[in-house]
């Protein structure tokens, strides 16, 4: 089974959002300049779909502008009991 991908939605000081994903290998990917939380969540949804096709679960953490955690949810890979 593929290892989980850690993903975080971060609120930036300018009011925009960024999605940061970290693979098990430690490689970091960033999608910045998203204008709304809905757009950031859509980006995470596309990542979730892509990683589910590879059998890798995505762990999503939502952070506020100060970097503190405001909520966490765990999304499972397709076929592992998740949706």
pTM metric for this prediction: 0.69
Per-residue pLDDT of the chain (83 residues; tens, 9 = 90+): 678 899 999 988 899 999 999 988 999 999 999 999 899 999 999 999 998 888 888 888 766 544 434 333 333 333 333 33
Total domains in the fold of the chain: 1
Is residue 10, in this structure, part of any structural domain at all?
Answer: yes
Here the tokens at position 20 are 């940061």
Is residue 6, in this structure, part of any structural domain at all?
Answer: yes
Is residue 11, in this structure, part of any structural domain at all?
Answer: yes
- The kind and range of the H/E element at 34 are strand 28-34
Q: Which stretches of 1-83 are DSSP H helices?
A: 37-53
Determine how β-strand 69-75 pairs with β-strand 28-34.
Answer: unpaired
């Amino acid at each position: 089974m593929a290892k989980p991908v850690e993903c975080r939605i971060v609120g930036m000081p300018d009011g925009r959002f960024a999605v940061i994903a970290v693979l098990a290998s430690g490689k970091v990917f960033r999608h910045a300049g998203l204008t709304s939380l809905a757009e950031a969540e859509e980006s995470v949804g596309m990542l979730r779909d892509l990683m589910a096709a590879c059998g890798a679960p995505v762990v999503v953490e939502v952070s506020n502008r100060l970097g503190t955690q405001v909520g966490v949810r765990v999304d499972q890979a397709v076929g592992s009991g998740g949706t």
